[in-house]
Structure 1
Amino acid sequence: MCGIAGVYGEDLSKDSRRNEIQQMISSLQHRGPDGWGYYISPEIALGHARLSIVDLATGDQPFATDKYVISFNGEIYNFIEIRQELEKRGIRFKSTSDTEVLLRAYEYYGESCFEKLNGQFAVLIWSKVEKELLIARDRFGIRPLYILNHKERFYFASELKAFDTIEGYSREFDIKRLYEHALLWNTYGDHTIYKQIRSLQGGTYAKYENGKLILEKKYYELGNNNSYDKRSFQQAEEEFNYLLEDSVKLRLRSDVPVGAYLSGGIDSSVITHLVKENTEKKFKTFSIAFDDAEYDESTYQREMVDQIKSDHYTLNINNKQIDAAFPDAIYHTERPVFRTAAVPLYLLSQKVKENDIKVVLTGEGADEILWGYDSFKEVKMLEFWSKFPDSSIRPQLIKKLYPHLSHYRDERQYGMMKMFYEGFLGDFDNKLASVNIRIHNNKILKNYFNRDHNLSYEKDSMIKEMDSFFPEKYTSWSLLQQNQFMEMNTLLSGYLLSSQGDRMSLANGVEGRYPFLDHRIIDSLFSVNEKFKLNGFSQKYLLTQSFKNKIPKSILNRPKRPYMSPDLKSFFVNGKPTENVAFFLSDDLINEYKIFDLRFVQRFMKKFSTGVPQNIGYRDNMIISFIVSTQIANYWMKNPKKYVLSEDLLKIKIVDY
């Protein structure tokens, strides 16, 4: 995996263009610490910071042919098969890299090549003959690609911090989009929380010519081939098992050792089991253990390690470490977060790097495609209840929503829970129905924003603005399919894969690979009988049944719980905020940044002056994480780090003047 950057515009001198691309790449060298290079011409500059994984000897970038130049971040897992296909058509190669395969495929097939790729990627391809720039991103937006339009030039980068190196430019929050992010845990479509910056959507390519965007087109959309699925459970299980194992095999392709993360849940346990089945060598696994027993899953991790006999490393995390590393983690997330869960993953990737591992397989994506999130259960329960809203039996399902939360089983609190969910019964006739509860829970954050911003949540106007974001077939899908689309296009790509996946691993030069996000698996599962994914309230049913005799029963049968780490507990000690929190939430900084209302922040902080209660709720943890991380993200914008790129790492230098 790598970092890429580009500068497109004709009003720069050669020296200015070279300096800009070098500065942009210097800010991305954590993504690609093994070498860097650049290409410059009168129209464009492309830069690349490389993490060497495939073709260590001849895979340096930018990679050029007589007609094209490419800067590519990612992996094409089926590059061997595509190469063989192209060689049969007379195409000759000068390297063994997937980079060249991608470029030759584009030369031969044009834009339709992206439909052939099984991978995770963001790519910039410059046509030296046609003077045309093509950019593209993988189907699900696993690898990032940001676009800045500034001073009649276009800038492209894997991370936002690359734009901070541009002379005369400073990132600024778009407060409306920041509030949107607060409601959805991400902005939708191609929006970001920053002015002038957009993100190329997953499954999209775009073309630039004569200094202008001339075309932007989706080459993939979730559910496009959705039709009534008549497969039996056995047929669906056989296809799923084959595709998942093949996905793991493809993602084990590497010229460097591959490891895996092991959380103690079913998703990562299945992946490590399949790695064990498909590799001859002993491999390394990595886990997080917490000093706080409420969050610790090490018992389940050890059970899986005992079964697969991996070379295992456990990183023990305490609250003090989470607080200390939070500012650095936010520097890499480049956006506010709603919990501290990113920090342990940031610290774990440091240990992975120290163990000389550059690639790890992880279990991300299973909850979205196999309906493992609690939002799927809530939607299903509400839809079932809404058909008979006066029923006294149907709302009893509330007690089964969250097995790991004792208050949901408490008869004394049932009435309050019933009133809460009852409020959503009549709200299924709009495109945001599947995220109603998330938005409702997060609207409390509006109270903390500075009143001068005049923020408000207006559902109808949000839906109207989002209409171009929804696929044509969206309204014909079931409510659970709509929920999957929303989860994958808000929470997964723009938040989880960003703040807990791509950014936290590549902050330390480690590439994450996600077998569950193979498009073949996702397409196969989208239209399968819904009971195969959510059977009653049994989540990820197809996965649990497929592996019921292959991983420990204790892992299969444990109640589903999200990966979390201590939030408020990390930020307060004996009723006092930590030094980090005291600084970022100081009166002076709150007043200087003008994002939040000082009185509300002060009132919130006073709630914990006598200590953090043992059973603190979701909302308070979310509020402190969001406010502190927003302040930190703003701090890094106003105080960008300065980097020097070592000339010793320069591998490719192409000047086309």
Structure 2
Amino acid sequence: MCGIAGWVDYDRDLTLERDTALTMTRTMALRGPDAEGLWIDPHIALGHRRLAVIDIEGGAQPMSEGPATLVYSGETYNFRELRRELESHGHRFRTRSDTEVVLQAYLRWGADLVERLNGMYALALWDRRTEELLLVRDRMGIKPLYYAPTRHGVLFGSEPKAILANPLFTPRVRSDGLFELLSTAKTPGHAVFDGMYEVEPGHVVRVSRDGVTDRRYWALTAREHTDDVPTTVRHVRELLEDIVERQLISDVPLCTLLSGGLDSSALTALADRALGTGTVRTFAVDFTDESGGFVPDAMRDTADTPYVHDVAKHVGTHHTDVVLSSDNLTSPEAVETVMRARDLPGGGDMDTSLYLLFAEIRRHSTVALSGESADEVFGGYRWFHDPAAVAAEGFPWRHGLGREQDLIDRDLGRRTDAYLAARYRQTIDEVPRLPGESGLERRMREICYLHLTRMVRFLLDRKDRMSMAVGLEVRVPFCDHRLVEYVFNTPWSHKTYDGREKSLLRGATADLLPESVVRRRKSPYPATQNPSYERAVRDRLSGILADPNAPVRPYVDEDAARTALRRPIGRASLQQDRMAMERIVALNDWLTTYRPELA
């Protein structure tokens, strides 16, 4: 998996800046606990921290061949086919690694190599012939990559912290960065910090003496779908079998994340078929409770654990429940680790529990398969099927979750709403369309596009940071671009042919699953219902309101916050009051720690 960092400067000799380049690289230590590498030429420094997954002995980086030097994070799942093709052209290999395949592919096809890669990856490649740097990110944005242009070049890294470690960059947040922090807009290319950008998914950024240019090599397109429902279901199954088989390649222990929902259960069953019965390890998260057991709320009808155990028994996995207490979730060490992993405010108990789950998994496995993004691909969220949410102007997940900034200063809240409305309209203008497409099919193409280009990136970001904070590689089979392209272009009537959510996925995998899971209604990633957790969040917010120097105070509607604190603790406030409180607390922690200039 790994972490990369680097620096291009055409006006200075970077061989004299080794200490700074090494400091940037070492900010990636958690992403790559197994090895460190640094390669420096007069105008380029490439740093790498390695998490060894494939060819443990031979895959060291930075890796050079001829005029090209590469640092690479992620996995190329079709590297074996590419290697055979390259060997047919006379290329010879020294290692078994996918990294060397990517490097040799560049020597054969240049920047067009990106058209041939299937995987999750972020890479930086320096060509000494042209003194140019390529920064490349996978099609769906599974692996992160940030950059910041400077006067004479660029700084880059897998996470913002690599760039923040260079004295050339000053952390500054302008109003649009603040709006991004207060929402789940996840605007493509936006990195919150002024002057820093994300390499957009499916893009190549080229850095040369002439400056920085950006080229898109992949995007969702609208294509006519001619397969009937049975053919579509069959093709989805074929794709999933191929995808899972490719993503099981590993030289280190591998497992699956299991929630008892359709997505993770299907992956677990497919992995079991590919690897052999009884060989799959599975892990699930659960919470201690002080109030008499699970109670349905606005988002969740059922607890995960009974369904998890049904799947583990049905498939025959070696299963572990990771049970977390409120003390675990509110641990100052865990909360700070989450914030520093994201370089942004944390997302409350769902971020912290994910981090703690991954930390426990890492004790047993180095690679995990996750069902992340199936809801975006197949139309799983409840608001996909809520006519009011579908018809509403705005990001539909905001309709489903209620207002995001209830405790934010009212004027700031209005400005954030206006910002989100503009970002929504921008996204709608991008949507590819079929001639003559209208009515519900036209609108559901928009809804699916919103999720596949905005919401999924927010979730992939969280998954990446929480997993890499413990050196765990999490693969996301449902993000394979072949599956995404195919399902995006299936009519909404196909996606709901059985009258339910995720019909195509259910139809493609029902024969592998226990009936309880096939019938189960969509339930999102769990949140603790333990009232002691909410008490701890309220205590933190009360402390902020009592501290006149708390940096978040100017952004808080104090009357609304005090009113929320007076309401009784309970599950009715789980989705609104508690999440709003968590947002204020997390933003205060981040402002205190990172101290950005606010412009």
| TM-score, normalisation: structure 1 | 0.82
> Deviations for 1:185-236, whole angstroms, at most 9, x for unmatched residues?
03312112221111111000011111611x31111101x2x22212111111
Alignment pair present for 1:375 and 2:372: no
Following superposition, the deviation at residue 557 of structure 1 comes to: 1.1
Supply the distance in 1 between the matched residues of 2:480 and 2:261 (Cα, whole angstroms). Answer: 20
> Deviations for 1:130-186, whole angstroms, at most 9, x for unmatched residues?
111111100000000011234544111111122232226442333323224534x03
Counterpart amino acid of 2:376?
A: E
Match of 2:519 among 535, 557, 576: 557
Distance 1:169 1:219, change over 3 A: closer
> Deviations for 1:276-328, whole angstroms, at most 9, x for unmatched residues?
10113623211111223337411111111112222222110122221223332
> Deviations for 1:24-77, whole angstroms, at most 9, x for unmatched residues?
111110000000101111111110000000111110000001210000010001
The gaps in structure 1 that reach 5 residues or longer are 383-420, 428-432, 640-657
Alignment pair present for 1:288 and 2:285: yes
Supply the distance in 1 between the matched residues of 2:429 and 2:593 (Cα, whole angstroms). Answer: 30
Following superposition, the deviation at residue 537 of structure 1 comes to: 4.8
Supply the distance in 2 between the matched residues of 1:588 and 1:114 (Cα, whole angstroms). Answer: 52
Is the CA contact 1:55–1:95 (under 8 Å) kept in the aligned structure 2?
Answer: yes
Counterpart amino acid of 2:27?
A: S
Instruction: State the SS of the aligned residue for 1:30.
Output: coil
Distance 1:173 1:571, change over 3 A: farther
Alignment pair present for 1:596 and 2:555: yes
Match in the other structure for 2:308:
301
Alignment of 1:307-322 (within 5 A): 307-322=314-329
Following superposition, the deviation at residue 124 of structure 1 comes to: 0.2
Match in the other structure for 2:201:
202
Match in the other structure for 2:70:
70
Is the CA contact 1:434–1:480 (under 8 Å) kept in the aligned structure 2?
Answer: no
Is the CA contact 2:407–2:580 (under 8 Å) kept in the aligned structure 1?
Answer: no
Counterpart amino acid of 1:508?
A: V
Counterpart amino acid of 1:486?
A: L
- Higher mean alpha-carbon deviation, 602-611 vs 25-34, is at 602-611
Match in the other structure for 2:297:
none
Match in the other structure for 1:587:
547
Supply the distance in 1 between the matched residues of 2:366 and 2:404 (Cα, whole angstroms). Answer: 41
Is the CA contact 1:120–1:138 (under 8 Å) kept in the aligned structure 2?
Answer: yes
Instruction: State the SS of the aligned residue for 1:588.
Output: coil
Is the CA contact 1:120–1:143 (under 8 Å) kept in the aligned structure 2?
Answer: yes
Is the CA contact 2:185–2:423 (under 8 Å) kept in the aligned structure 1?
Answer: no
Match in the other structure for 1:361:
369
> Deviations for 1:414-443, whole angstroms, at most 9, x for unmatched residues?
xxxxxxx7xx85x6xxxxx46256279665
Is the CA contact 2:6–2:21 (under 8 Å) kept in the aligned structure 1?
Answer: yes
Alignment pair present for 1:335 and 2:344: yes
Match in the other structure for 1:623:
580
Supply the distance in 1 between the matched residues of 2:375 and 2:592 (Cα, whole angstroms). Answer: 33
Distance 1:18 1:615, change over 3 A: same
Supply the distance in 1 between the matched residues of 2:21 and 2:429 (Cα, whole angstroms). Answer: 32
Counterpart amino acid of 2:430?
A: F
Alignment pair present for 1:217 and 2:174: no
Distance 1:525 1:451, change over 3 A: closer
Match in the other structure for 2:255:
259
Supply the distance in 2 between the matched residues of 1:547 and 1:440 (Cα, whole angstroms). Answer: 28
Following superposition, the deviation at residue 606 of structure 1 comes to: 4.8
Is the CA contact 2:8–2:44 (under 8 Å) kept in the aligned structure 1?
Answer: yes
Following superposition, the deviation at residue 95 of structure 1 comes to: 1.4
Supply the distance in 2 between the matched residues of 1:460 and 1:594 (Cα, whole angstroms). Answer: 23
Match in the other structure for 1:496:
459
Supply the distance in 2 between the matched residues of 1:12 and 1:588 (Cα, whole angstroms). Answer: 45
Counterpart amino acid of 2:190?
A: H
Alignment pair present for 1:607 and 2:564: yes
What RMSD, in angstroms, separates the aligned Cα atoms of the two structures? Answer: 2.8
Instruction: State the SS of the aligned residue for 1:369.
Output: helix
Counterpart amino acid of 1:209?
A: S
Following superposition, the deviation at residue 634 of structure 1 comes to: 2.2
Distance 1:516 1:452, change over 3 A: closer
Instruction: State the SS of the aligned residue for 1:549.
Output: helix
Match in the other structure for 1:399:
none
- Higher mean alpha-carbon deviation, 459-468 vs 89-98, is at 459-468
Distance 1:601 1:327, change over 3 A: farther
| TM-score, normalisation: structure 2 | 0.90
Supply the distance in 1 between the matched residues of 2:481 and 2:227 (Cα, whole angstroms). Answer: 19
Is the CA contact 1:7–1:156 (under 8 Å) kept in the aligned structure 2?
Answer: yes
Match in the other structure for 1:653:
none
Counterpart amino acid of 2:426?
A: M
Counterpart amino acid of 1:56?
A: I
- Higher mean alpha-carbon deviation, 452-461 vs 75-84, is at 452-461
Is the CA contact 2:15–2:40 (under 8 Å) kept in the aligned structure 1?
Answer: no
Alignment pair present for 1:448 and 2:411: no
Alignment of 1:563-578 (within 5 A): 563-566=525-528, 569=531, 571-573=533-535, 577-578=538-539
Alignment coverage as a number of residue pairs: 579
Instruction: State the SS of the aligned residue for 1:457.
Output: helix
Alignment pair present for 1:529 and 2:504: no
Match in the other structure for 1:98:
98
Following superposition, the deviation at residue 621 of structure 1 comes to: 2.7
Counterpart amino acid of 2:417?
A: Y
Match in the other structure for 2:226:
230
Match in the other structure for 1:142:
142
Supply the distance in 1 between the matched residues of 2:152 and 2:132 (Cα, whole angstroms). Answer: 17
The gaps in structure 2 that reach 5 residues or longer are 295-299
Supply the distance in 1 between the matched residues of 2:447 and 2:94 (Cα, whole angstroms). Answer: 46
Following superposition, the deviation at residue 482 of structure 1 comes to: 1.3
Instruction: State the SS of the aligned residue for 2:571.
Output: coil
- Where relative contact order (Cα < 8 A, 6+ residues apart) is larger, the structure is 1
Distance 1:569 1:145, change over 3 A: farther
Distance 1:315 1:454, change over 3 A: closer
